[in-house]
């Protein structure tokens, strides 16, 4: 991959896209391209076609998606299904029609069945029912994976899908109505610390186990896929390590400096008991995460404090 290769990063302002952009700049890439959603609506097929015809990228990295937690998925199922399909289908099909040889599609571990054996392997895709709380997003992402696989099989193009585990890091979403568990906990503990170390109430029992990956490590995996022709169509991207939600809460609490009690609301759902990715295939090819969970949480909290006025919907 030449350093002046024209690379279009869809969703370059989001947590994942911005991390990929930073990593590529650090690696010496000089011809990156990104446009905001105000400038280009990726749900608009004609607009996407025109944009690609005018800009002619060599590579597309699709980090654009409508994302959110359980509440958002439950409240807006149609938007999570349709808008994500529109975004990815427009990008994938336009890339194919434009003759683009390399496309990197980013999805989520939620594509795997709810009750699949642990850790989750790539071959478990479509072997059972999905987790109902985010099936709309998952179905959209599965169609993206399968579209890239079909293009790979039929047209012999280097279209690959990377499925990251739970992500966190700089530019995360800290809005309590739509954020994921780690940034939501960080905000709750921070606000409680400011409120004389008030008690923090968290959902469930704290016993489910989850895996977390610092977003810059995912960005490194994307660059790895960019610079190498991966032999298969689908790869998990994770640490191979998990911990209980209770252990996660206690780690965040210590880093934030909150000294009050934690109250577990057992009337709220726990979700899947365990969700761990098997990332052996990526590890065997040569990529592995570098940032430990504690180090990543510390860096994320530092960024949170530095950007507390501009963090999305922070309203402290």
Residues annotated within a binding site: 11-17, 106-109, 141, 164-167, 180, 188, 203, 210, 270
* pLDDT tens string 182-219: 999 999 999 999 999 999 999 999 999 999 999 999 99
The answer to whether 112 is a known catalytic residue is no
* pLDDT tens string 42-86: 999 999 999 999 999 999 999 999 877 677 777 889 999 999 999
Task: Given the residues 137, 159, 171, 214, select the one marked as catalytic.
Answer: 137
204: DSSP letter:
S
Q: Look at residue 316 in the predicted model and tell me its pLDDT.
A: 45
Q: Does domain 7-170+212-241+275-291 have CATH number 3.30.70.2660?
A: no
* pLDDT tens string 296-311: 999 999 999 999 887 7
Question: Pick from 35, 45, 32, 44: which is nearest to 10 by CA?
Answer: 35
Q: What is the pTM of this model?
A: 0.94
Q: What's the token pair of residue 105? A: 């599609």
Domain boundaries, the chain: 7-170+212-241+275-291
Percentage helix, strand, coil for the chain under 3-state DSSP, each rounded to 5: 45, 15, 40
Question: Pick from 160, 147, 144: which is nearest to 228 by CA?
Answer: 160
Q: Look at residue 295 in the predicted model and tell me its pLDDT.
A: 98
């Amino acid at each position: 991959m030449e350093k002046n290769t024209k690379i279009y990063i869809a969703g370059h302002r989001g947590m994942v896209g911005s991390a990929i952009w930073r990593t590529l700049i650090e690696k010496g890439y000089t011809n990156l391209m990104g446009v905001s959603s105000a400038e280009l609506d990726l749900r608009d097929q004609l607009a996407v076609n025109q944009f690609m015809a005018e800009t002619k990228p060599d590579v597309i990295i699709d980090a654009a998606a409508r994302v959110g937690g359980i509440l958002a998925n439950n409240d807006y199922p149609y938007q999570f299904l349709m808008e994500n399909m529109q975004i990815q289908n427009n990008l994938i099909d336009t890339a194919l029609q434009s003759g683009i040889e390399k496309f990197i599609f980013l999805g989520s571990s939620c594509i795997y069945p709810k009750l699949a054996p642990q850790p989750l392997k790539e071959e478990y895709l479509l072997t059972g029912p999905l987790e109902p709380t985010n099936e709309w997003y998952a179905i959209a992402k599965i169609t993206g994976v399968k579209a890239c696989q079909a293009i790979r099989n039929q047209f012999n193009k280097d279209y690959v899908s990377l499925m990251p585990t739970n992500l966190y890091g700089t530019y995360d979403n800290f809005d309590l109505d739509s954020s994921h568990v780690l940034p939501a906990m960080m905000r709750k503990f921070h606000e409680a610390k400011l409120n004389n170390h008030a008690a923090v109430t968290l959902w469930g029992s704290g016993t489910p186990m989850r895996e977390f990956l610092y977003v810059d490590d995912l960005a490194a995996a994307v660059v790895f896929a960019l610079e190498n022709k991966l032999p298969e169509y689908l790869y998990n991207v994770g640490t191979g390590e998990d911990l209980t939600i209770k252990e996660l809460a206690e780690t965040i609490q210590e880093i934030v400096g909150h000294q009050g009690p934690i109250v577990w609301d057992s009337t709220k759902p726990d979700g899947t008991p365990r969700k761990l990715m098997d990332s052996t295939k990526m590890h065997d090819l040569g990529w592995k995460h570098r940032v430990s969970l504690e180090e990543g949480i510390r860096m994320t909290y530092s960024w949170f404090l530095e950007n507390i006025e501009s963090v999305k919907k922070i309203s402290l």
